[in-house]
Structure 1
C-alpha cells in the first residue's frame, strides 16, 4: 500500500470493502454503515443527508460515494469545499467488480484483496436452473415499490435464475399498487430485509397464495465482501421458497 490516506465513505458497501481490505484508512462513515460490526468511526449522518461540515472537519483525502445512494448536491458541496470525491456507478455485478477494484486502488490499496477474487469465483460458478421462475421483488411498502430495470439486485437475481416481471419497466424502482402486484402472475415474491425490513409476516399478509422468499437484503443489494457468500445464501433462500 502507498502512503496512508484518510477516507470517508458515504456508502455501506464501500465502507465494508475498505474496512475489510485496509483497516485504518477510514476516518468517517454514515450511520447506515453497519459492517464490519466492530466499526469504530466518526459517524457523519445518512447517505442522503450527510453532515458536510462534519466530513470536511475530518480532513479526508478522499470521499467515496455512489451515484444512486448519494445526492449530487451533497457531492458538489464537498467538492466546493476542496474535497476529492470518487463516485461509483453499480448497476450490474460486473460493474460492481470493476468499481470495487477502482475504489480500492484510489484508496491506495496496491494488491487485489482475496475476497474480491473469491466473489468473482463464486459468481462464475453459479449454474442457474433451466426454467426460471417469474418474480416480483418489492423493496418498499407504503407505497409499494419494486425492482424495475437496470438494477444491481435485479442482475444478481437474473444470474440466479429469477426472471423479474418488471425488469423492462420504464422506471428503475416503479411504484406498483398492491392489487396489481398480486395479479401480475408471479411464481414468486422475493422480499429482502432491507432497505425495507420485510418479515415473514409480510408475505402471507400481502401475497396470499404466492410463494414467498424472504432473503438477505445485504447479500442482494450490497457490493462488497458479502458478494463472496451471496450466491450460496440467496440460492438457498430462493430454493427453500420454491420447494
Structure 2
C-alpha cells in the first residue's frame, strides 16, 4: 500500500517499518536516506492536493494537533487521523496502522510502546535529565522545577498536559515540570525564581543554540535539550524511552 504522511513522527516510524511512504511534508527529515525518496507535498499546515492526487496513494495520514481540520475535510483520498496527547495513545493507534497496512513491525512497535506505558515510574533528579546537549549555565542545587521552552520573543513553553509532558512523566520527572492549563502558554521568564527554576531550551522549533549569550544573561540554570525524542512520538521517542526509561 502507498501512504502519504503529513506527520513527521509517523513518517519516520512508517519508513523504519518498511512502509511505502510516497508523500511527506518538508519537515519529514528522518530517516534521511529514505525520506528523500518520498515526494514533498507541503507542510504540516498546508498541502498541494494536486500532488496528492498525482501520487495515487491509498490513504493520507494526519494528526489532530500537527495538521489542520481542513486538511482532513478536504482530502481527495481516504485519511486516517491520530490524536496523540500522551504515551498511552500510541499503542492502539500503531495497532490500527499495523493492521491496516498488514505490517508486523508496526505491530511490534505497538507492543513495545505498551511495555513503556506500563513500566513502573521512579523519580530521578534534575541533574539526570536525558537528552541534555549542553549546559549553558550550571544547575543550581536550589532548583526545584524546570520550564521547557520552545520559543523566544515571545517566550513560550510546554505544559505538563502534552505528549512532551507525558515523556517527562515516564522519565520520573513530572514532579519538577512546571504546569499550566494551556498546553503551550506564553510566559514571562521574569515571573520565575532564578534560584529555583531550570530553563530547558528545546532544539526545536526555536534555535536557542544561537542565543547562548542571551540565555546566560537571564541568570537561570539553563541547558539546551534535544527536542526530537521528546516530541517525535513514533519510533524515535520509543528508542529514547526504552534506553532511558525508569
TM-score > 0.5, shorter chain as reference: yes
Pairs aligned (count): 225
Q: CA separation in 1, counterparts of 2:88 and 2:189? A: 32
Aligned to 2:18: 22
- Runs of at least 4 residues off by over 6 Å: 232-235
Q: CA separation in 1, counterparts of 2:213 and 2:11? A: 30
Aligned to 1:241: none
* Partner SS for 1:63: strand
Residue 76 of structure 1 is aligned with which of 65, 73, 77? 73
Q: CA separation in 2, counterparts of 1:102 and 1:43? A: 25
Q: What TM-score, normalized by structure 2, do the two folds share? A: 0.79
1:223 has 2:219 as partner: no
* Partner SS for 2:150: strand
How big is the shift at 1:141? 1.4
Unaligned runs of 5+ residues in structure 2 are 127-143
8 Å contact from structure 1 (residues 143, 175) kept in 2? yes
Deviations 1:103-137 (A, max 9, x none): 23223325654444444445655653267752111
8 Å contact from structure 1 (residues 220, 234) kept in 2? no
Q: CA separation in 2, counterparts of 1:126 and 1:195? A: 31
Q: CA separation in 2, counterparts of 1:229 and 1:198? A: 25
Aligned to 2:29: 34
How big is the shift at 1:53? 1.9
Q: CA separation in 1, counterparts of 2:184 and 2:217? A: 19
Distance 1:203 1:85, change over 3 A: farther
Higher relative contact order (CA 8 A, sep 6+): 2
Q: Which moved more, 1:183-192 or 1:223-232?
A: 183-192
Q: What TM-score, normalized by structure 1, do the two folds share? A: 0.80
Q: CA separation in 1, counterparts of 2:39 and 2:125? A: 48
8 Å contact from structure 1 (residues 9, 29) kept in 2? yes
Q: Which moved more, 1:141-150 or 1:184-193?
A: 184-193
Residue 8 of structure 1 is aligned with which of 4, 16, 20? 4
Aligned to 2:133: none
Aligned to 2:131: none
Distance 1:183 1:52, change over 3 A: farther
8 Å contact from structure 1 (residues 91, 152) kept in 2? yes
Aligned to 1:90: 84
Residue 209 of structure 1 is aligned with which of 220, 224, 228? 220
* Partner SS for 2:164: helix
Q: CA separation in 1, counterparts of 2:152 and 2:159? A: 15
Q: CA separation in 2, counterparts of 1:44 and 1:221? A: 22
* Partner SS for 1:208: coil
Distance 1:55 1:111, change over 3 A: same
Unaligned runs of 5+ residues in structure 1 are 236-243
